[in-house]
Amino acid sequence: MDLLGHLLLGLQVAISPNNLLFCFIGALLGTLVGVLPGIGPAATVALLLPITFTMAPETSLIMLAGIYYGAQYGGSTTAILINLPGEASSAVTAIDGYQMARQGRAGAALGIAAIGSFIAGSVATLVIAWFAEPMTTVALKFGPAEYFSLILLGLVASIALAHGSVLKALAMIVFGMLLGLVGTDVNSGQLRYTFGVGELADGLGIVAIAVGVFGVAEIFRNLEDEQEREIGVKTVSGLMPSAADLRASAAPIARGTVIGSVLGVLPGGGALLASFASYAVEKKLAKDPSRFGKGAIEGVAGPESANNAGAQTSFIPMLTLGLPANAVMALMVGAMTIQGIAPGPSVITDKPELFWGLIVSMWLGNLMLVLLNLPLIGIWVRLLSVPYYILFPGIIAFSAIGVYSVASNVFDLYTLAAFGLVGYLFVKLGFELTPLLLGFVLGPMMETYLRRAMVLSRGDPAYLITQPLSAALLAATAGLLCLLLLPSVTRKRSEVFIEED
């Protein structure tokens, strides 16, 4: 079946009433969590995982995907209106977007953010459709040694893209991998790292850990920094940018789409990196760079296109290789596993309706975001005036209900509370949390592939380097790790981390 035939199959799946409804719900919820600072798509996807257990696999993934790319759009609303990004990748948008709002041009900023996000999301979805099948064909030729080396490279690359100390990011990866080893050894049937606690025989739950470190910990941090949100724009008008604005934004949207599409596949935070890279490129190419930071519409159009394209293309490694590029993709892998689907290259052949239905739903979801959000700007503005201390009790209650409903196990609530405190302490100490979740999800997969490789080689570790592709991946991993440990690189990362704080 050719690409057009695959897309027609996906369209049939995506436009079914049930899938269309949950695509709409996902996009709406995603925008909501993007608008409200302090919740985030990772925590929301984790919270809603239990609800997806009773859904068809394609329906659950369509809704969860809508939450993710919807949050990328919603984050721009708070960035522009109150200079407070709802999503980290929208931080760059705040620089010029808020200045435009102060100049009475909030409508134009929001309008160009919507247009740029839609164009970038649509193009990035086409990129997924175009490259997914060739990548899957290549991935089917991977053996255990190649998969082990690829996962190792992905983990090291996630360290490269993390902020701050290399050693702290590495420590979080290792900690996450150790957490993933808790439970029953599938080979020997022996319990490990359970310390006599029977509830740990099946391992720690990904939902409890994700909601704890991304949801509860973020609530604690926001309560600590709670401040009155000053909304300088009570009403927003003129959402359609002028012809001059559209001309000025056309090239930045195109460049941002390309940058985001390429960087989105990188592990650790491609959408965030893409938005910063796009802003730097636009400022470098501008005839008058001094306009940036004072309300340049290019500073909104480029980064918003880049972060939305990056959010879309982050699905490529998850769908084709089963390897998550960020925390939300790790949760998507968890959602597929819960549904009894093994993430990886076999999905496109065994579950084509899920694969292509999800891809086509992204087009529909991006269109919904434009049609949905611009008319709802007034509601988002009013929501922003709600104090956080009123919102957080409901978020905590919803978190507890969602975690408990997974297995009706009180122990999961203790896990939630413990990892909420652990996540908060890590944030205070300057540790990033995304490497922890990536290590937790990828660690057991890496162990499984290593054991399979050792079985094939009869216990000879040299097998990993005698396979050409595996050796090349290990060499790239070693080179990247050496580069990260260079004193100049370590010092520069620390300086960037301090400036961002």
Spell out the SS3 assignment of 42-80: HHHHHHHCHHHHHCCHHHHHHHHHHHHHHHHHHHHHHHH
What is the tens place of the pLDDT at every residue in 329-374? 888 888 888 788 877 788 888 888 888 999 899 889 888 887 777 6
- 265: domain range? 3-227+242-500
DSSP 376: T
Pairwise CA distance, residues 299 & 109, whole Å: 10
For residues 321 and 151, give the distance between their C-alpha atoms in angstroms, rounded to a whole number: 10
Distance of alpha carbon 232 from its chain centroid, rounded?
30
Q: Is 466 inside any structural domain?
A: yes
- Is 234 part of a structural domain of the chain? no
What local confidence, expressed as pLDDT, does residue 500 receive?
Answer: 46
Q: Give domain status of residue 236, yes or no.
A: no
Q: Which residues of the chain have pLDDT under 70?
A: 1, 37-40, 83-89, 161-164, 225-239, 267-271, 374, 381, 384-385, 388, 406, 487-501
Residue 88 pLDDT: 64
Task: From residue 59, give the alpha-carbon distance in Å to each of 9, 49, 141, 296.
Answer: 15, 12, 29, 40
pLDDT of residue 84: 65
Residue 406 domain-assigned (yes or no): yes
Number of domains in the chain: 1
Question: What local confidence, expressed as pLDDT, does residue 492 receive?
Answer: 54
pTM over 0.85: no
CA atoms within 13 A on the CB side of 263: 25
Instruction: Tell me, yes or no, whether 185 lies in a domain.
Output: yes
263 inside domain: yes
Domain assignment present for residue 450? The answer is yes
User: Does 233 fall in a domain?
Assistant: no
